Amino acid sequence: MPLKHHKPTTPGSRQHVSADRSETRGRAPERSLTSGRRNKKAGRNSRGTVTVRHRGGGHKRRLREIDFKRNKDDVPAKVAAIEYDPNRSAHIALLHYADGEKRYIIAPDGVSEGATVVSGPNAPIRPGNCLPLENMPLGSVVHCVELTPGRGAQIARSAGAEARFVALEGSYALLQLPSGEMRMVDRRCRATVGRVGNVDHGNVSLGKAGRKRWLGVRPTVRGSAMNPVDHPHGGGEGKAPIGLDSPRSPWGKRTLGARTRKRGKPSNAFIVRRRYGR
């Protein structure tokens, strides 16, 4: 999808670079596949305490029900429209199945309005088709990959994401994930051929702080601009170094290079090579 540079008639448009949404513009969502979001609490828990910082506000949204399981086998579906989804970075595709049912899926790159997609073990290897990994040739580029057969896609669902099917060993398939991690997945798990669309999403420049607020993101204050009582980086006369062996969070924990994955997690056994290169 090409990028769109705006004429700098205002300060907000001077740095604004947006994605050309000509294929999604003017399309209202399928009402039967949407639902209202529950009352957002921003980054607060049930007690009203902020547990996730820098979240709040934003434009009102409706949830789109996405079919991540793709379990309607051997029934061809026509792509009726490519739509914008405010809840994710990727676009979504509205499918009209031959039996009259309608579903949303993550829109693959190269699949446009009017194309036909199908799911099932006998589906041809074409972008947008969904089938088990054991029925795909080695080297295939896939997205929306399951981790457990029948559970639904959990891997490579954001804009431009892709995984590569590199080997088949016994009852497991070996995938190279977008992060560089090599992981074993049950060979019966389903995946969609191709990569996720809206590839230029990472090149978009919002241009002004207000657009970030429309997305529900609140400002982030630097720790070095705070007082010592509020952050380990705070205090000092003028600009000062942090004075620590490594950057810390507001609660004193290391932030650069600190591992967040728990030890002893059962799925650790399926990771062949971690994304850290170790």
Q: How many folded domains does the chain comprise?
A: 1
Condensed to tens digits (0 to 9), the pLDDT of residues 210-228 reads 999 999 999 999 999 999 9
Residue 88 maps to a domain: yes
Is the distance from CB of 198 to CB of 107 less than 8 angstroms?
A: yes
Give the integer Cα–Cα distance in Å for 269 and 278.
15
Strand partners, 62: 36
Residue 141 maps to a domain: yes
Give the integer Cα–Cα distance in Å for 72 and 68.
11
What six digits make up the tokens of 99?
């039996």
3-state SS class at 112: coil
Residue 242 maps to a domain: no
3-state SS class at 213: helix
Is the distance from CB of 93 to CB of 104 less than 8 angstroms?
A: yes
What six digits make up the tokens of 268?
């650790």
Residue 187 maps to a domain: yes
Residue 228 maps to a domain: no
Q: Where does 107-194 show beta strands of DSSP type E?
A: 116-117, 130-132, 141-143, 145-146, 153-155, 163-169, 172-176, 182-186, 190-193
Provide the whole-model pTM.
0.90
Give the integer Cα–Cα distance in Å for 92 and 107.
5
Residue 213 maps to a domain: no
Give the integer Cα–Cα distance in Å for 122 and 118.
9
CATH classification at residue 122? 2.40.50.140
Residue 231 maps to a domain: no
| Domain assignment of residue 179, given as a range | 3-202
Angstrom CA distances, 169 to 175, 185, 213, stand at 11, 10, 47
Burial of 129 (0-12, 13-18, 19+ CB in 10 A): buried
Please give the torsion angle defined by the CA atoms of residues 238, 220, 232 and 244, in that order, rounded to the nearest 10 degrees. Answer: -80
Residue 262 maps to a domain: no
Give the integer Cα–Cα distance in Å for 61 and 36.
7
Low pLDDT (below 50) residues in the chain: none
